Amino acid sequence: MGGTVSSRPPASPVIILEKPLSKTTPDWKTGELCADPNYGFEEQGKRRKERVMVATEAEMISAKVPPKLRDFCAHHYINFEKCKKDKFPFVYRCHPEKHNYEHCQYEDYLIRMKDYERERRLLHRKLRKEKKNGGRNHDE
């Protein structure tokens, strides 16, 4: 059984980036936005609707919601877990609650991806304007 032991760790399919790929890639680790969230909405006479948490911190603690699931969909998760507890062992009856939770997760994902793409487009636009102005930074 003469095999060799490699000192290298196995290759991981996940690449962890410590810094953005380029100047046009938004850095989400810092949480800083490159533009005002309502930029572009004032022209239409509208403002972006601010997202608010429905479930309070106390409700999430009392429902024992894991920290990684404490997001904008936590209230749906609490309802789903309560239903599973109430209707056990017939948890298939909780399909509407599960659907609501998964739909909320999907909508949250879409909002985050749209925000990411918006930030990326605004960074591209900013670099194009700087290049056009010869490196001078002019605000609109």
By the 8 A CB rule, do 25 and 112 touch? no
2-59 pLDDT, tens digit each: 555 545 555 555 555 555 566 667 766 666 667 777 777 777 677 778 888 999 999 9
The Cα–Cα gap between 37 and 26 comes to 14
103-121 pLDDT, tens digit each: 999 999 999 898 888 888 8
pTM of the full predicted structure? 0.70
pLDDT of residue 137: 56
69-96 pLDDT, tens digit each: 999 999 999 999 999 999 999 999 999 9
